[in-house]
Amino acid sequence: MLDGFAENRLLSWTRWIFALVMMIFLIAPSLIVVPMSFSSSDYLEFPPRDSSLRWYESFFHSLAWLQAMRASLVAATLSAVISVPVGTLAAYAARKLPLRVKVVVGAFLLTPAIVPSILVAIGYFFVLAQLGLVGSMVGLVLGHAALAIPVVFVIMSSAFAGFDPNQELAAESLGAGRMTVWKSVIIPQIRGALFASALLAFVTSLDEVVIAMFISAGPNATLPKVMFSALRDKIDPTVAAISTMLISVAVLAVVALLRSGRKQDPT
């Protein structure tokens, strides 16, 4: 009966080709560094003439690079630990607010993600300078957590949009305390979103460079900041090896998110 509305095969192929071209356009610049990281040349070159693992060895034998990686991992982990509870509780509270108030609160929480990063970094620098936290891990974590909270808030707001409040009301009517309600009713419904928000908060901190350029220093300098300095002072191919490892982390994060979403899907 619907044969007359059959989809045009040419249009279907055009859509797929367009999607493929856009995917290549977005991904190719990032993937170019992968073969460059296996080059034996003393300079960044594409395509590499000879293959080698010398730049990976250079990374794992360099105290400066390993120290920067430790600082980045510690900052990313602590930022996720702070931003996930704060963003989750903010999203939980905002869902009960009147629409206009909810919009204002949401705009306020999303400000660090909307304002240009350079302005946010300058503001944090002067605030942390007054507190004597510039160059410290505490200051770095606070700055990164401020960027991760909007990410968590958006994800958890979407999760709470599909949240069933009747189960929460039923638990409370049966005498369950707030901690029990969160543990037995709320968290099981948003477990997948919590995992996704924690992962994205971690990656947000791990990849951040602008704020790190202003407020991280010495042993607390992050990996992206040291990478930027390496490219500014000289073209160090070790940066390509580190970029490849960061891309691998991002790919694993996406795979983990997809697997988590599939497990949460009842179908």
Q: 97-156, pLDDT tens digit by residue?
A: 777 877 887 788 888 888 888 888 888 888 888 888 887 888 888 888 888 888 888 888
Return the pLDDT at 265: 52
Per-residue pLDDT of 155-210, as tens digits, reads: 888 888 777 777 767 776 767 777 777 777 777 778 888 888 888 888 888 888 88
Q: Which residues pair with 51 in a beta bridge?
A: 39
Mean confidence (pLDDT) of the chain: 79
Nearest-5° Cα angle at 213, 212 to 214: 90
Q: Report the residue count for the chain.
A: 267
Distance of CA 245 to the CA centre of its chain: 15
Nearest-5° Cα angle at 75, 35 to 31: 15
Return the pLDDT at 251: 76
Return the pLDDT at 261: 56
CA distance 55 to 241: 6
Question: In the structure, what pLDDT confidence band is assigned to residue 260 with cuts at 50, 70 and 90?
Answer: low
Return the pLDDT at 8: 67
pLDDT surpasses 50 at 267 = no
The whole-model pTM stands at 0.76
As given in the structure block, the two tokens for residue 90 are: 């903010």
* Percent of the chain predicted with pLDDT > 90: 2
CA distance 226 to 7: 52
DSSP-H helix ranges across the chain: 9-31, 33-37, 54-60, 63-94, 99-109, 111-114, 117-131, 137-161, 165-173, 178-181, 187-207, 210-215, 223-233, 238-264
Return the pLDDT at 1: 47
Stretch 211-232: mean pLDDT: 81
CA distance 197 to 151: 7
CA distance 171 to 96: 18
Question: In the structure, what pLDDT confidence band is assigned to residue 5 with cuts at 50, 70 and 90?
Answer: very low
CATH assignment of 62-236?
Answer: 1.10.3720.10
Return the pLDDT at 82: 92
